[in-house]
Amino acid sequence: MDEKETFLGIKISGEWHEVTVESEKACIVLKEHLGEERVRQFERWKPHENEDIEDVKERTIQNSLTKHTKVEENGEIQEKAREGVEEIKNGDVKNGTKDIFQTIRPIEKNIYKHIIARFNPLFFKNKKVESNIKEKRNQYEMEIAVNDEKARKKLKKEMLKENKDKNKK
């Protein structure tokens, strides 16, 4: 396992187990300095011991898709698309747009899953924390960037200090 400092945070490299353990430690540090609520989304997205990279991939896809609305979850997609076009023709742009998005959503998910996620690192981003993870020959590399300067310094200090202490033993 290897941890390095980056400009905005840390980079963790190692086997799946090592990356999951270190990302959990990073969550604990970030919660202390950013607050539970601000780290909750990242904590849900990050890799967990009892899963694999495909689980993180699925969460990345879900986070990346245009947000769903209640209207999109009802009815048949083709019918909604037709209704959407008709509503736009009749001047009801708001409802028509919702119907069209409902039609596009499955296409968007497939494009992301089979093209974008296949060739790019899996990523997470909110106002306070950004992260990405990639796999190369059963080794994983995860970067965690923190936009809050104080929290970033604490993360670097605590995570990298702990790693140095392990290496001394």
Report pLDDT digits (tens) over 102-123: 777 777 777 776 677 666 788 8
58 with 128, same domain? yes
pTM of the model: 0.71
pLDDT > 90 fraction of the chain, expressed in percent and rounded: 50
Query: For residue 13, what is the enclosing H or E element?
Result: strand 9-14
Domain limits for position 96: 70-116
Q: How far apart are CA 69 and CA 120, in angstroms?
A: 28
8 with 90, same domain? no
pLDDT, position 88: 61
18 with 60, same domain? yes
Instruction: Answer left, alpha or beta for residue 21, where phi above 0 means left and psi between -120 and 50 means alpha.
Output: alpha
Question: Position 168: which residue type?
Answer: K
pLDDT, position 70: 44
Q: How far apart are CA 133 and CA 47, in angstroms?
A: 9
86 with 42, same domain? no
The label of the residue with tokens 């959407």 reads 84
Q: How far apart are CA 148 and CA 152, in angstroms?
A: 6
